Amino acid sequence: WVDHTAKYGFQDITYKLSPEDGTARIAINRPEVHNAFRPITVNELRKAMDLAQDDPTVGAIILTGEGTYAFCSGGDQAVRGEGGYDDGSEPVPRLRVLDLHVQMRRCPKPIIAAVAGYAIGGGHILHMVADLTIAADNAVFGQTGPRVGSFDAGYGSSHMARIVGQKKAREIWFLSRFYSAQEALDMGLVNKVVPLAQLEGETMKWCRRIMENSPTAISCLKAALNADEDGQAGSMQLAGNATRLFYLSEEGKEGRDAFLAKRPARFRAVPTSK
């Protein structure tokens, strides 16, 4: 891994690249609070996601937590002020974690959560919003919002129900208990469970396998799999892919060239896709 954390001045996360594997690794790095996130953390995650998305050498993004004790324990309760999470870094108390979820969904590259230890509360939602999850056998999953006076009524509820079903989603939220890696696998919350020592290797194996496949096919499939859940915004994402591909076609280019040459477009003279 090539460590780019200092280059971008990140304090709550680490950002690393593996150019040979075409993979970016984004990790929450607050082990003293089991990788709980505060506004600064979320904004750094948003920035790192942008960096990875825009980097042409990156084909897959790993989201993880530093250390083996916790992937992420959710929102940092120590900075929950009167009106929301407040670490002094934002003009108003706010945690832009729902924006991060939307960004992850819209990212055309696959995001793979590598979970060791606790994935709790907002941390659990982060792994659910990722496209794939590889869990270590010491992973523990659960929502604790109702215990601490919080909830996520966005993807944290609706996407969870799509993954595990309505009854199970209600159990996870209403009872707020914890589940083992094997239980998570059984209910389809994670893709694979491996011994802790193999977590990184297995995750890299999945990334390398993805990198062998067509990036356009993968980004269109991600948009398609998101589309019905994401309503108009989901259709737009899929439509954006269609427009991008159309721009590459002779027909698309003819429209642009004709306008620039101030002549009528000759669409019938170029190959069209039906």
Among 39, 65, 110, 122, binds ligand 2NE (CB under 6 A): 122
Supply 270's token pair: 């170029």
Pairing of strands 118-120, 140-142: parallel
Residue type, position 272, single letter: T
- C-beta closer to ligand 2NE: residue 28 or 204: 28
- C-beta closer to ligand 2NE: residue 172 or 218: 172
Q: How far apart are CA 123 and CA 251, in angstroms?
A: 46
Size of the site for ligand 2NE (CB under 6 A): 21
Provide the minimum distance between the beta carbon of 92 and ligand 2NE in the complex, in angstroms, as a whole number.
Answer: 16
Map residues 166-205 to x or -, x wherever contact with ligand 2NE holds by CB under 6 A: ----------------------------------------
- C-beta closer to ligand 2NE: residue 171 or 257: 171
65 scored as a contact of ligand 2NE (CB under 6 A): no
Residue type, position 224, single letter: A
- C-beta closer to ligand 2NE: residue 68 or 235: 68
- Scanning 53-61, 117-125, 160-168, 258-266 for contacts with ligand 2NE by CB under 6 A, the matching segment is 117-125
- C-beta closer to ligand 2NE: residue 131 or 152: 152
Q: Give the residues across from 119 on adjacent strands.
A: 72, 141
The answer to whether the CB of 72 falls within 8 A of the CB of 108 is: no
HSE on the CB side for 167, CA within 13 Å? 1
3-class secondary structure per residue, 129-181: HCCEEEEECCCEEECCHHHHCCCCCCHHHHHHHHHHCHHHHHHHHHHCCCEEH
In this structure, the number of other CB atoms found within 10 A of the CB of residue 187 comes to 17
Residues in contact with ligand 2NE by CB under 6 A are: 33-34, 36, 73-78, 95, 97, 118, 120-122, 144-145, 148, 150-152
